[in-house]
Amino acid sequence: MRIILARHGQTDSNACNRFQGCLDIPLNATGRRQARLLAEQLARYRPQKLFTSDLIRSMETARPVAAKLQLVPVADPVFREYSWGILEGLTWEEARKRYPQYFSGECPPLHSLSVPGQEPRELFRRRVQKGLALLMAEESLAAVALIGHGHYLNALMVEFLGLDFNGPWPFSFASAAVSVLEVKKGRRKLLCFNEKCYLGEENA
């Protein structure tokens, strides 16, 4: 089977590099255009089931995809973005000024950042594992798709490939970009990563 991963389209918070986390922020005009272009791209993979986070930016991204593929999206909070606690709504610069005690020296990698109110890392990992298990449970289908979030998709790919969850996370997902995973005879492969050329002028 193939698992088609796509990050949601752009929001105003994405455009100015704010921590979004679980803040429920809709797509902006660019994000809505990206969602329409993404629908055309995902149709080429013919997923037979469509999953999405229950946050509005993912569900809005899924709508044109669902219409194109004639699927009913399955919105599940297990696919919701990581919660950044006190940082949500802030840019990196604002976060460093307001909470310098957590940003001494160079900015730490996102996966190892530790601030009050954020989702406990081990609980987040278990949630990602549960989400991956839901996708893998559809093994009777040729392909399924997930419209999700950057940090969540990063963690999911690390889990899928068996990489060190506590080590560096090497992936970065652009808005409305597509990545493709494959499970074949028990072997797991990354077939395509962060494909976004179809976005044209939105490819930024």
Q: Which residues contact 43 (CB under 8 A, 6 or more apart)?
A: 65, 68, 69
What DSSP string runs through 38-60?
HHHHHHTT--SEEEE-SSHHHHH
Catalytic member of 60, 81, 88, 202: 81
- Whether the CA torsion 2, 172, 41, 192 is positive or negative: it is negative
Active site residue 81: yes
Alpha carbon distance 106, 89 (integer Å): 21
Task: For residue 4, give the nearest of 200, 155, 194 by alpha carbon.
Answer: 194
Instruction: Based on the residue annotation, tell me whether 151 is a catalytic residue of this protein.
Output: no
Could you give the C-alpha distances from 199 to 30, 120, 151, 204, in angstroms and in order?
A: 10, 35, 21, 9
**Annotated catalytic sites, by residue?**
8, 81
